[in-house]
Amino acid sequence: MSLRPGPAFLWVKQKFGNGLKVAWYRDVVRPKILRTEPTPDTFDNTCEIHVLTSNTDWLNLIWTLKSFYKVSERKYRLCIHEDGSLDDEALFWLQQHFPAARLIRRKEADLRLAHVLRDYRLSLDFRNSNLLAPKVFDFMAFLESDRMALFDSDLLFFSKPSSYIERIESKAYQVNTFNTDVGNGYTVEPSEVRARIGHDLVPRINSGLGLVHRDSIRWDWTEEFLALPKILDGNPWRIEQTLFALCSSRYGVEHLPDEYAISLEPGFKKKPFRHYVGKIRHLMYSEGMAHLAKQGFLRAA
């Protein structure tokens, strides 16, 4: 079956607008990723990719991972964490397409983190109450490499992300690195951090794509940072990002080059990668997946 819309689709699109294009690529084209060949042999311990997924975004995650593995020509180890919502179908497809990956179930993670964080009450309470907190705590607790590639499930890769890979694979590169956000997506003020913690908070860190060193996230640090006034009062989806930024600012961090920065405007302008954050999630389908599908990605992935 052709992936290209037929005349009837084009007529309806012209009549009803771009929303139909989004729906076409989200509901018709996106599931075709399940027909592609598995990605085997992900055993390279240079770093380990860690991702958190749910029953609403696991299909996007497969696109994220397959687009990275294809353009990067790398076989980094993979660890998939699920938030407790995955059904049997989702688990089947993830295991089918990434047979060498570790798939960490929420119940398994709960048991381990209850032990790991037993002496860090603020960290444990936050980890158990915030849906994104496992990105900080579970990822590090299950990490089996000295370096972690941090992925969200709304990334697409269009060409080799050379600068990112170079930082991952350079033994001389000893700081964390992240893509740049459109603004400070934190739940604390930099001035408050400077006054209470004694170091600057590096601005505009986004935890959707990063390289994180094993010893850069410490439980005594997360415990200290979670005691900052009002850190838990802000947007709950930004607290884990705030913790990554706080730990990394203390450890050492820099932004990825500008071609990795988040933009809210349409078009990726031949950049190697795009992070389709919530405000532009529709573009992940009508722009990103559309481009990859037209380039033959679903035949070669």
* Segments making up each domain of the chain, as ranges: 7-300
Q: How far apart are CA 23 and CA 28, in angstroms?
A: 8
Alpha-carbon distances, residue 184 vs 173, 200, 265 (angstroms): 25, 13, 18
Its sign, for the CA torsion 52, 256, 140, 46, is positive
The DSSP bridge partners found for residue 155 are: 275
CATH of domain 7-300: 3.90.550
Q: How far apart are CA 151 and CA 205, in angstroms?
A: 14
Each residue's pLDDT tens digit, 198-239: 899 999 999 999 999 999 999 999 999 999 999 999 999 999
pTM for the whole structure = 0.93
Amino acid at 275: H
What SS3 state is found at 89?
A: helix
Each residue's pLDDT tens digit, 175-193: 999 999 999 999 999 999 9
Residue 155 pLDDT exceeds 90: yes
Amino acid at 4: R
Q: How many Cα neighbours within 13 Å face the side chain of 259?
A: 13
Residue 23 pLDDT exceeds 90: yes
State residue 1's pLDDT score.
42
Each residue's pLDDT tens digit, 45-97: 999 999 999 999 999 999 999 999 999 999 999 999 999 999 999 999 999 99
Q: How far apart are CA 195 and CA 298, in angstroms?
A: 52
Q: How far apart are CA 12 and CA 52, in angstroms?
A: 36
Average pLDDT, the chain: 94
**Residues 6 or more apart from 125 whose CB is under 8 A from it?**
none
Each residue's pLDDT tens digit, 251-292: 999 999 999 999 999 998 889 999 999 999 999 999 999 999
What SS3 state is found at 44?
A: strand
Q: Could you tell me which of 122, 131, 243, 128 has the C-alpha nearest to residue 193?
A: 243
Percentage of the chain modeled with pLDDT above 90: 91
Is residue 45 within a helix (H) or strand (E), and if so which, with residue range?
strand 44-53
Is residue 212 within a helix (H) or strand (E), and if so which, with residue range?
strand 205-213
